[in-house]
Structure 1
Amino acid sequence: MVQRFLWHAQDLGEENLNSFFISALVDMRASLILQNESMRYLCVTGLPDCWTVQQGVTPVDEAIFGTEIAEKLGESKQRALTTGNTEQLEVRLDDDHVYEFRILAMPARSGDKQIITTIIDRSEDRRREKVLQQLLREVSHRSKNLLAIIQSIATQTSQHSESIETYIQKFRGRVFSLSRSQDLVTDSGWRGAHVKELLERQVGSYLGGKLELVAFHGDNVLLSPNAAMHLGLAFHELIINAIAHGLL
């Protein structure tokens, strides 16, 4: 259980205590609204820049937040007063600005209830969540593509293998080739892979330090991730055939 108020000196007057809390809240740039049970505003600290309080006038929800948000806040505050539970309300102003309102009804020393509304800027949190969702969708899409390639490899390998042992050897080699191409694509931040590096990666898997046995001529173009996977497999087949026939 969280202890919300740990200790204060018995001889510390209420006025000094209130001054301490208000100064701390202002310094923290906390966005807080304190109201009594009849919804009369008692104190406001640190509103986000999109909302303001008109000086010299006792504020009300509608004047600060507009009719639509004020109605939702009013309903949430009434529920907090009735149930004693903390109410939460998320408000999206546009694609870039999202705020969470946390509403809590607490007993005052007079015996009446007071309503504390905390406003939290969730814009950056929602932006990160959106980016994460996009990344997860992209990972899912690329995983499906990779599985489709592996399935195709398995099918083609089975059609040209005389035995289980031959099938396993060919299949492992092709999957290993695919993983080498995948490493290049991942290292590039999913931009793709350059042809020369792709060839060297595939050659290096079988010839080790003898890269000079294979010469590269032409433009070192950047391949898309999908093209890099397929061309990497093609290089693998050419290298394996060359080794099998004693050309490398």
Structure 2
Amino acid sequence: MKIITSPAKLMNVENSTEFLKSTTPKFIEEATLIHSYLKEKSPQYLSELMEISAKLADENWHRNQVWKPKPTAKESAPALFAFTGEVYRGLDTKTLSKDAVDYLQKNHRILSGLYGLLKPSDKVMLYRLEMGRNFEFENYKNLYEFWSDKITEHINAELKKNELLLNLASNEYGKVINRKKLNNPVVDFEFYQTQPNGKLKTIVVYTKHARGLVARFCAETNAKTLNDVKAFNYENYLINEELSTNQKLVFVR
């Protein structure tokens, strides 16, 4: 079973772990190519591309100036610990056991606009480049065009026959994987909050958090089958069998 998640805008390279030996991202050469174009962009361009404030644009311009493919330990952190957004608050990696971290190292992959695809142990520096932004470079109109085949082929190579791919990524990131070329079944997820009137509602921040919770649950329970994943029950979530299928699991609380 393999699990994919999106990265996060919030990062902290001061986080680390003794459980993982640092590794170099698989697509570091491709990341270096993308960065060579990103580094030349002005703060104003970054502000318009990413729809961020001038202050954030300046901050990310500075990150682009110091980014390097082979950072030191002080300049980087393992990807699993570097991202600190809502998904990773749900995953709460700093409180995981060594066995759980080992499970994630084997099974969890993080999609990235800059790095393409990351293992938990891969060293990353602070950066911001969302997959869905229309960043044009060379002959590529966007990052999907650049990454889709590369990421899809690599995931195919990692998946064993009939092994499930749990898609806990956002739509923005998940669609970089070309499912028509994928050899294995994909399982999608939906998370609903029960409202006072009994109706079900999707709330984005809770969905992000729940994606991290599912990844944590799988790691802590050594989940291997679809039935194992269906048992997910952290923070009062329960499977809704009526709404779920083998291709989409729906959890409600």
Query: Do the structures match in fold with TM over 0.5?
Result: no
Structure with higher helix content: 1
TM-score (norm 2): 0.20
Q: Which has the higher contact order (CA 8 A, sep 6+)?
A: 2
Larger radius of gyration: 1
